[in-house]
Chain A
Amino acid sequence: MLAKYIARRLLASVVVVLGVTLITLLLMDRTRGAYVPGIDFNPSLRPEDIARLRADLGLDRPFYEWYLSWIWGVLHGDFGHSMIDGSTVMSHIVDRLPNTIELTATAILIGMVVAVPVGVIGALRRGSKTDHALTVVSVAGFAVPQFWMGLMLILIFSVTLEQHGLPWLPSSGAYSPFNGGDVLDRLQHLVLPATVLSFFYVSTWSRFIRSSMLEVLSQDYIRTARAKGMSERRVVYLHGLRNALIPLITLIGLELPGLVSGGLVVEVVFGWPGIGRLAFERALQYDYSTVMGVTFFATLLVIAGNLLADLLYGVLDPRIRYG
């Protein structure tokens, strides 16, 4: 049953992946017009070299042919070469991905560690001043533009502190270019971007946990547990929280694509050498083999995230059956 369900989902995913890559390529093809900046405007290349390079990159072929050979390559694990620097697209992704994972994983971790207690407190003290205050913070969290929050943190913790001669936090990059790269250095660079990213997670997830907890606490089995004389603490944490956290799995699963796209704006603000910024910069340079590679990868993450969330949900909640 489950195997059949997974098979059907994967089959539907193939259609989606093909659709996504086709749309991306169509847009890129319309966008690039007739030239590739790194080649056509390079004064040190002779016209015949340009023609040869374009042929190597497949630019002399109509886009559907390019697409078919691209798909063929992808099926064989070959994502092709960047149109800007000629290195493989895979090497770019492998190069940038660890930085993105470092940032996103930290943010998700901080998000959970903060959001769970905040949500539980809100639910247990529903209607109290604490609850209202937490609600206000979370509602505000939805309205703050991430990039602006990043800029403000830079203004306060980098610029102003530095101006007053105080110890300040680095505002750009994942590590210092000179004598940097050790753990402490990386952590210092991580503080500001991870704060911005996790703030968003906290405001979303804490609301979610609050309502999920409220719903669980009104269930019959909670009343039964109380009626058996179980201590309130045990009721809340053993029976309540455990069940209230199940839906959170779905939310975190849905954040998987955020690995690539969710952090893009934050990566750009903080000059973080991640995969989102890679896609952003390369899109601006019409490097469409790189953009295709990253988009493909990001789409796989979307699909994997959705599927994983659904499956985990079934594992954690036996009432759910797949048909």
Chain B
Amino acid sequence: MVISHKPLRFILAALIACLPLMSFSNTEKDSAHVQTEEAHGAVSEGHHTEPTDVKSKIKAFIGHHVLDSHDFTLTQDDETGKYYGFPLPVIIWDNGLHIFSSSKFNHGHSVAESNGNYYAINHHDGKIYRTDATGTISEDEKTGHPTNVRPLDFSITKTVLSIMVAALLMFWLFTSLAKSYAKNGGIASGVGRIFEPLVLFIRDDVAIPNIGEKHYKKYMSYLLTIFFFVLFLNIFGLTPLGINATGNFTVTFALAILTFLITNFSANKNYWGHIFWMPGVPKPMRIILAPIELLGVFIKPFSLMIRLYANIFAGHIVLMSIIGLMFIFKSWIGSTLSFGLSFVLSILEILVAFLQAYIFTMLSALYFGSAVEEHHHEEEGHH
């Protein structure tokens, strides 16, 4: 394919182009920041202690943003205590099904009652615990974790909702793309057409080189779905809606475990042979290598999970912290600079969104490729 190498080259070129920009703005910014921070600190110490309050508020806000939530809050007014957003359904299994709206929690301020049981949201981890009528949550002295009973929580949380929206969007986009081929005589038309080069890229530069011409077809559905799913959720995370699905440990764990299961269930004899009885090395070495290789089987998907989670999670924290700096500085130079920095970082985050989706897909394809690789080491040894 003619276009095959372009996206990768473009990503590399964009990355390299961004590097000097980033480092330049960073160094300049850091010195400016220190100055303004010092100046501001001096002023605040003299007059009032508000900045620490703003800081802790921002910290709490960021801390809550990166976690899942039972209601969809777009923004809130601290002074009036008014929330702008909508509640989501809470589904709990606790000796029977409890379904009620999350508005009952009143954003964690009230205790919700359902079929004689009382539930409350813990402020620290945003999870639902069974409590008494007053909503007391007792905490373990050593670990600080609540000791209350945690019911099985199948709520449609903010993350679940965003996953559903992403799934629906993907379904609509790609079915319309699929239909447009038949309508338009084999040439894509409509909005799905934007994604056709990406589909071809996944096929020609991710699946075929890593898995091989012979086996790649059976993995295509998974690779394409995971690429667009991660990509869409990454991009969703960059919108001001405050979604953080791919920066959620549970979501990346679920994705990684699917890669793990597919790799190991589709693996051939050769793959297991390479793990437990490595050909081509002395016998004592084989015994030493077996546990290492076996560990690798688990480390590979684990690294997938952590890589995506950490990249997106860290991106959100850094971006929100820099946006938060604007409210801490409250000076024209500091806020402008932190706006500029957050703008540049947002562009970098868009790159990261694509890059992480690509890397997840690429590595999954690589693992699938190793699982179905044909036996040819000994033949090579003879030559």
Partners in one complex: no
Q: Which A residues are within 8 Å of any B CB, using their own CB?
A: none
Q: Which B residues are within 8 Å of any A CB, using their own CB?
A: none
